[in-house]
Amino acid sequence: MSGSTYPRNIVLVHGGFVDGSGWRGVYDQLSKEGYRVSVVQNPTLSLEGDVAATHRVLDALEGQAVLVGHSYGGAVITQAGNHEKVTALVYIAAFAPDKGESVSTLISDPPPGAPVPPILPPRDGFLFLDREKFAASFAADVPAELAAFMADSQVPWGIDALNGAVSQPAWRTKPASYLVAADDRMIPPPAQRTMAERAGARTAEVPGSHAVYVSRPGAVADFIKQATDG
């Protein structure tokens, strides 16, 4: 990191079914190198609420920030990234909706042969993944004990969050980077590449499951650093 013109703040936004603790490995790597890292605990009840939670973190920071989102967190940063303190967006195996799109619309027409996430029917307005299929779909390269814990500690994902549409995609006005997880069985890698290209994102690809931010924190942290340092 060189020069005072580059932001030292990095804000990490998690996706559906999980909470911010999954970022611990990435947090540790970046913190050791002098970045000020914040982790948003977005409730995943509605897109609007999660954007507000992200804005509260940004409001409390001194200086500018790079905003990072995983999975549904990509939809959050696409909207929240319009905040005046955000200088760049980083998508980690994430949704990058355009204006009027939601996660729901982006997953409504999967390509032939693509793996189908094992999302159970809604219960009281919330979604869960089938715990027996969680590891294979979400965290295939995560140690079995940790993947089991993730499956058994799922955060209910609100239907309103899934259906929340972006009104102003920040990637249209701010630089974006996109890290594709090549072995993802939640968001098909071809869909990731298409969203990255549409957003004009600097793109890289690494082997990894949807939980690449957990299984390969070093590679994810290095990618975020490149986006942060310009």
**Token digits for 76?**
């959050």
Predicted TM-score (pTM) of the model is: 0.96
**What are the pLDDT tens digits along the chain (230 aa)?**
444 455 599 999 999 999 999 999 999 999 999 999 999 999 999 999 999 999 999 999 999 999 999 999 999 999 999 999 999 999 999 999 999 999 999 998 877 788 889 999 999 999 999 999 999 999 999 999 999 999 999 999 999 999 999 999 999 999 999 999 999 999 999 999 999 999 999 999 999 999 999 999 999 999 999 998 87
- Least Cα distance to 107 among 115, 69, 99 occurs for 115
CA distance 64 to 70: 20
Which residue in this structure is represented by tokens 């814990």? 149
- Residue 185's pLDDT is what? 96
Whether 92 and 68 have beta carbons less than 8 Å apart is answered as: yes
User: What CA–CA distance (Å, rounded) separates 165 from 76?
Assistant: 10
In terms of DSSP bridges, do strands 86-92 and 176-181 run parallel, antiparallel, or are they unpaired? Answer: parallel
Q: Other C-beta atoms within 10 Å of 16: how many?
A: 26
**DSSP symbol at 182:** T
pLDDT of residue 2: 42
For residue 48, which amino acid is it?
E
Specify the pLDDT at position 7. Answer: 58
Q: What per-residue confidence (pLDDT) applies to 6? A: 54
User: H-type helices in the chain, by residue range?
Assistant: 24-32, 47-59, 73-80, 103-106, 134-138, 144-152, 159-163, 189-198, 212-215, 217-229
pLDDT on residue 113: 81
Q: Round to whole Å and give the CA distance between 99 and 154.
A: 29
CB 81 within 8 A of CB 174: yes
What is d(CA 195, CA 93) in angstroms, rounded to the nearest whole number?
Answer: 10
Q: How many CA atoms lie within 13 A of 49 on its CB side?
A: 13
Determine the Cα–Cα distance for residues 174 and 5; give it in Å rounded to an integer: 16
Q: What is the pLDDT of residue 4?
A: 47
Measured distance CA(26)–CA(94) in Å, rounded: 16
- Residue whose token pair is 């967006």: 89
